[in-house]
């Protein structure tokens, strides 16, 4: 059977998904990047190989996420696309009539507006990480609540407390005051979800036309409290797909399938790349006062790619 692999390497998590010819998800893998994208990809590939039946053949590979270029070189991707397109494609596959996609991950959050299956507008959080998963993570730690239990706890709240959501620092001091005056943890947790939703809609969703059906994906979609808070704020149903946390990888796999239709032949280097010795190193170019930080990728001690310079004098290796 012919299958397609999608790899989404983000700042917090690395996700892989394998789909078949009919775009059905056969297997997925979710692991933490831990600041080491190369290792994460290799680990993911190793796990994936174990899960897949031997007779499956990978016909195409797509990479996405903030480390998409590095990953693309590593695995030999047929298509390298930004996470915005990948997420939109993934969501449209699941719900073809989708009009709005919310994606909240660890360090960034986006809103994607889709009309007739095409992305017409998008936005990403700009200045800070407020409105992302790390905001919730940080506050959960303060409250001594496990992030996995966060959502269920929020749903138990009877009267959510209002908490300032503009900035994590404001939220924290607001939250401590509320704790000291005797608000229950459930109410505070639910209040935090609402604060995050307000923050998201005011910053990322500013000026965007939010219409149903709405798909909510990314790591934070696991939080039921967030889904409830979105539904309350917007008055629409918010759909959390089954594979909400690997939607980017699914999208990348679909994009790979589209590419292969045209190019016919994959550049995939095979699962063996998980055993190859890849390294990256960086140096500062002193050719001009820009002092660009140039990054090199080495395969078996041989430089296979470089980037990071403004003038292009180091980019000789890429075709």
Partner 1 sequence: MGTIGVLGEAILRRFGQEVILPPKTSKRTLTLGSRYSPEFACLPLKVTLGNLIEALEKGADTIVMLAARGPCRFGYYATLQNLILKNLDYEYELITLDYDMPNNLRKLKRLAKGKNWFQIGEAFRFSFLKLLTLEKMERLAHRIRPCEVKKGSTTKAYDEASRIIRRTFSFRELRWAKRKATFLLKKIPQDRTRNPLKVGVVGETYTVLEPYVNLEVERKLGEMGCEVHRPVWATEYMISMLPIFNRWGPRRKYRKAAKPYLKEEAGGECIVSIGGTILYARRKFDGVVHIAPFTCLPEIVAQGILSKVRKDLGIPILTLVLDEHTAQAGLITRLEAFVDLLQRKQARQKMKGKQG
Residues in contact with partner 1 by the rule CB under 8 A: 66, 81-85, 116, 118-122, 124, 126, 207, 209, 288-291, 310, 312
Residue 182 or 289 with smaller CB distance to partner 1 = 289
CB of 66 to partner 1, least distance (A): 6
CB of 312 to partner 1, least distance (A): 6
* Spatial separation of the C-alpha atoms in residues 283 and 296, rounded to whole Å: 8
* Residue 53 vs residues 18, 251, 274: alpha-carbon distances, Å: 12, 22, 18
CB of 316 to partner 1, least distance (A): 11
> Tokens for 223?
């939080």
Which helix (H) or strand (E) is 256 found in, with range? helix 247-263
* Spatial separation of the C-alpha atoms in residues 33 and 72, rounded to whole Å: 16
CB of 270 to partner 1, least distance (A): 27
* Residue 15 vs residues 64, 241, 292, 310: alpha-carbon distances, Å: 10, 16, 31, 31
Nearest residue to 101 (alpha-carbon basis) of 82, 124, 81? 124
Residue 146 or 288 with smaller CB distance to partner 1 = 288
DSSP designation for 156: T
Residue 278 or 307 with smaller CB distance to partner 1 = 307
Residue 53 or 261 with smaller CB distance to partner 1 = 261
CB of 291 to partner 1, least distance (A): 6
Residue 130 or 193 with smaller CB distance to partner 1 = 130
């Amino acid at each position: 059977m012919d299958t397609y692999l999608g790899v989404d390497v983000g700042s917090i998590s690395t996700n892989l998904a394998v789909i078949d010819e009919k775009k059905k998800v056969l297997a997925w893998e979710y692991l933490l990047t831990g600041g080491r994208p190369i290792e994460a990809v290799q680990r993911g590939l190793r796990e994936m190989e174990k899960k897949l039946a031997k007779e499956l053949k990978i016909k195409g590979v797509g990479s996405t996420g903030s480390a998409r270029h590095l990953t693309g070189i590593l695995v030999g991707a047929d298509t390298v696309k930004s996470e915005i397109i990948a997420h939109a494609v993934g969501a449209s596959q699941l719900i073809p009539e989708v009009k709005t996609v919310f994606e909240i991950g660890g360090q960034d959050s986006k809103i994607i507006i889709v009309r007739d299956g095409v992305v017409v507008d998008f936005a990403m959080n700009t200045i800070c990480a407020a409105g992302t998963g790390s905001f919730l993570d940080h506050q959960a730690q303060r409250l001594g609540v496990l992030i996995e239990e966060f959502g269920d706890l929020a749903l138990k709240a009877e009267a959510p407390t209002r908490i300032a959501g503009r900035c994590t620092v404001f939220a924290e001091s607001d939250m401590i005051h509320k704790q000291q005056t005797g608000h229950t943890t459930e109410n505070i947790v639910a209040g935090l979800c609402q604060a995050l939703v307000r923050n998201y809609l005011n910053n990322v969703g500013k000026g965007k036309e939010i219409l149903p059906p709405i798909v909510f994906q990314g790591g934070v979609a696991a939080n039921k409290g967030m889904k409830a808070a979105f539904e309350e704020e917007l008055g629409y149903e918010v759909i959390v797909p089954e594979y909400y946390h690997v939607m980017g990888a699914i999208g990348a796999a679909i994009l790979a399938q589209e590419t292969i239709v045209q190019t016919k032949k994959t550049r995939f280097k095979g699962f063996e790349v998980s055993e190859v010795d890849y390294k990256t190193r960086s140096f500062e170019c002193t050719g001009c006062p820009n002092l660009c930080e140039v990054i090199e990728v080495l395969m078996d001690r041989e430089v296979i790619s470089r980037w990071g310079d403004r003038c292009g004098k180091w980019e000789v290796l890429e075709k």
